[in-house]
Structure 1
Amino acid sequence: MKDGTATLEVPHGKTFKLKPLQFNGPCNFPSVHFQLEGNIIAPRNTKAWKGHDSERWIEFLNIDGLIIDGGGQINARGSVWWEFCRENSCSRPTALFIHNCNKFLLNGTRHLNSARNHISINSCTNSKVYNVTTIAPEDSPNTDGIDISQSSYILIQDSTFATGDDCIAINGGTSYINITGVTCGPGHGISVGSLGKKQSYEVVEHVRVYNCSFTGTTNGMRIKTWEGGSGYARNISFQHIILTNTSNPIIIDQKYSDLTNEGKEQTSAVQISGVTYRDVKGTSQSEIAIILDCGGVTGCTDIFMDSINITATSSGSKVRASCNNVHGFTTFTSPPVPCLS
Structure 2
Amino acid sequence: MIFRKNMLVFISLLFCLPYQSWGAAYNIMQYGAKGDGITDDTKAFEEAWQELCNDVEPGSTLTIPLVNTFLVGPINFQGPCKSPNVHFEILGTIVAPEDPSSWNGCLAGAWLLFANVEGLIVDGGGTIDGRGNAWWTKSLTNALHFENCNGLQLRNLNHRNSPRNHIGLSRSSYSTISDLDIVAPAYSPNTDGIDISTSTQIQIQNLVIKTGDDCIALNNGASQINITNINCGPGHGISIGSLGINGGYNTVEGIYVKNCNFSGTQNGARIKTWQGGSGYARDITFENIELDNVFNPIIIDQHYCPNEIHCPAESSAVNVSNISYKFFRGTSRSRIALNFDCSNMIPCSGIYLDQINIISSVSDEHTTAYCNNAYGTISSTKPSATCLS
TM-score (norm 2): 0.83
Paired with 2:310 and 2:155, the residues of 1 have a C-alpha distance of 43
1:127 aligns with 2:163: no
Per the alignment, residue 338 of structure 1 pairs with 386
**SS of the residue aligned with 1:198?**
helix
Pick from 32, 47, 59: which aligns with 2:101?
A: 47
Per the alignment, residue 151 of structure 1 pairs with 199
Paired with 1:298 and 1:162, the residues of 2 have a C-alpha distance of 35
Number of matched pairs: 334
1:311 aligns with 2:365: no
Paired with 1:257 and 1:114, the residues of 2 have a C-alpha distance of 24
Question: Is contact 1:326–1:340 with CA below 8 Å preserved after alignment?
Answer: yes
Cα-to-partner distance string for 1:238-295 (whole Å, 9 max, x where unaligned): 00000011110000001124989744x4221100000000000000011111100001
Question: Is contact 2:76–2:107 with CA below 8 Å preserved after alignment?
Answer: no
Paired with 2:106 and 2:263, the residues of 1 have a C-alpha distance of 37
**SS of the residue aligned with 1:47?**
helix
Amino acid at match of 2:133: S
Amino acid at match of 1:21: I
1:12 aligns with 2:66: yes
Per the alignment, residue 340 of structure 2 pairs with 292
Pick from 288, 299, 310: which aligns with 1:251?
A: 299
Structure 2 unaligned regions, length at least 5? 1-22, 25-56
**TM-superposed deviation, 1:54:** 7.8
Larger Rg: 2
Paired with 2:238 and 2:346, the residues of 1 have a C-alpha distance of 25
1:110 aligns with 2:158: yes
Amino acid at match of 2:118: D
Per the alignment, residue 248 of structure 2 pairs with 200
TM-score (norm 1): 0.95
1:326 aligns with 2:326: no
Measured at CA, do residues 210 and 57 of structure 1 come closer, stay the same or move farther in structure 2, by a change above 3 Å? Answer: same
Question: Is contact 2:139–2:163 with CA below 8 Å preserved after alignment?
Answer: no
Paired with 1:133 and 1:256, the residues of 2 have a C-alpha distance of 29
Question: Is contact 1:232–1:271 with CA below 8 Å preserved after alignment?
Answer: yes
Amino acid at match of 1:63: V
1:57 aligns with 2:57: no
Pick from 278, 292, 296: which aligns with 1:230?
A: 278
Paired with 2:111 and 2:251, the residues of 1 have a C-alpha distance of 28
Paired with 1:38 and 1:333, the residues of 2 have a C-alpha distance of 48
Paired with 1:309 and 1:145, the residues of 2 have a C-alpha distance of 28
**TM-superposed deviation, 1:338:** 3.1
Paired with 1:298 and 1:251, the residues of 2 have a C-alpha distance of 17
Question: Is contact 2:97–2:103 with CA below 8 Å preserved after alignment?
Answer: no
Paired with 1:178 and 1:169, the residues of 2 have a C-alpha distance of 13
Identity percentage of aligned residues:
47
Pick from 34, 45, 55: which aligns with 2:88?
A: 34
Paired with 2:190 and 2:369, the residues of 1 have a C-alpha distance of 28
Amino acid at match of 1:155: Q
Paired with 1:67 and 1:297, the residues of 2 have a C-alpha distance of 46
Amino acid at match of 2:218: I
Paired with 1:98 and 1:326, the residues of 2 have a C-alpha distance of 37
Measured at CA, do residues 307 and 119 of structure 1 come closer, stay the same or move farther in structure 2, by a change above 3 Å? Answer: same
Pick from 128, 134, 137: which aligns with 1:80?
A: 134
Structure 1 unaligned regions, length at least 5? none
**TM-superposed deviation, 1:108:** 0.3
1:220 aligns with 2:268: yes
Per the alignment, residue 209 of structure 1 pairs with 257
